[in-house]
Amino acid sequence: MSQPASEPVSDRADLVSFLDVSVTPELLELALTHRSFAYEHGGISNNERLEFLGDSILGQAVTVMLYRENPDLDEGDLAKRRASLVSTVALAEIARHIGLGQYIRLGRGEELTGGRDKHSILADTVEAIIGATYLDAGPVAATGLVMRLIAPLLADPDRFGAAMDPKTSLQELSSAQGRGMPNYVISDSGPDHDKRFHAIVRLGKDEIAEGVGSSKKMAEMAAALQAWTKLSAGAPDAS
């Protein structure tokens, strides 16, 4: 039987080799299954529960690492550093570094609209893989995977620059470029115990970037960091 057009064509062996963790093929496939694919294939299981688990594992591993390795930083600075490492933008950067997009099982609609390179889909899939690793290989292996995934971010000398306070950095940059003050539009989805917040940052009438997070603050920071990155690089607006 030929492979459906919405299935990734890449062999997962390279991904498995890079991850270097023991996860069953079935659980890895689930971690790579976006809800759009599940919906188009009769409502099969998708990776959202694994993403929920992986988000917690990721946050704990990064928090413990930062606490142990930065004894002189106060709570506020530790929180900013954690945010810069676990934000949607940061996780999408990790996903692109390992070429994760090509392995994700997407529905046709998402495929046609560039879903393989969407920040939110990439970030959620990274978290789902972390969750799958925790279930199959245990907490030590999952923590080790998190540390390997974030290593390139930690090695970036600019990671804790604008990423430490992206809203202020964006405000300063947009003012310097004559773009005015950033404005954030927030929406949320999901049940009260597991809300996800979506932020759009605007400069004037232009929508520059967006971000998601488990709180309004996290979503705004993710959107601000993406906007700052675009303005710094001279990228065109997202509108």
The per-residue pLDDT for range 208-239, each reduced to its tens digit, is: 999 887 788 888 988 898 898 888 877 544 43
Residue 4 lies in a domain: no
Of 154, 183, 202, the domain-final residue: 154
CA separation for the pair 20, 47 (Å, rounded): 20
Q: What is the CATH number of the domain that holds 186?
A: 3.30.160.20
Question: By the 8 A CB rule, do 70 and 81 touch?
Answer: yes
How many CB atoms are located within 10 Å of the residue 116 CB? 20
Residue 68 lies in a domain: yes
Residue 6 pLDDT greater than 50, yes or no: no
Of 131, 154, 177, the domain-final residue: 154
Which residue numbers belong to the known binding site for Mg(2+)? 51, 124, 127
Which residue numbers belong to the known binding site? 51, 124, 127
Q: In the chain, how many domains are there? A: 2
Active site residue 127: yes
Catalytic residue, chosen from 93, 110, 111, 127, is 127
Residue 184 lies in a domain: yes
The per-residue pLDDT for range 11-61, each reduced to its tens digit, is: 788 898 889 998 999 999 999 999 999 999 998 999 999 999 999 999 999
Residue 95 pLDDT greater than 90, yes or no: yes
Looking at residue 9, its pLDDT comes to 44
Question: What is the torsional sign of CA 90, 59, 113, 167?
Answer: negative
74 alpha carbon, distance to own chain's centre: 25
Residues 125 and 193 occupy one common structural domain: no
Residue 27 lies in a domain: yes
Residue 80 pLDDT greater than 90, yes or no: no
Residue 239 lies in a domain: no
Q: What is the CATH number of the domain that holds 59?
A: 1.10.1520.10
Residue span of the structural domain in which 104 resides? 13-154
Mean pLDDT taken over the chain: 87
Residue 189 pLDDT greater than 50, yes or no: yes
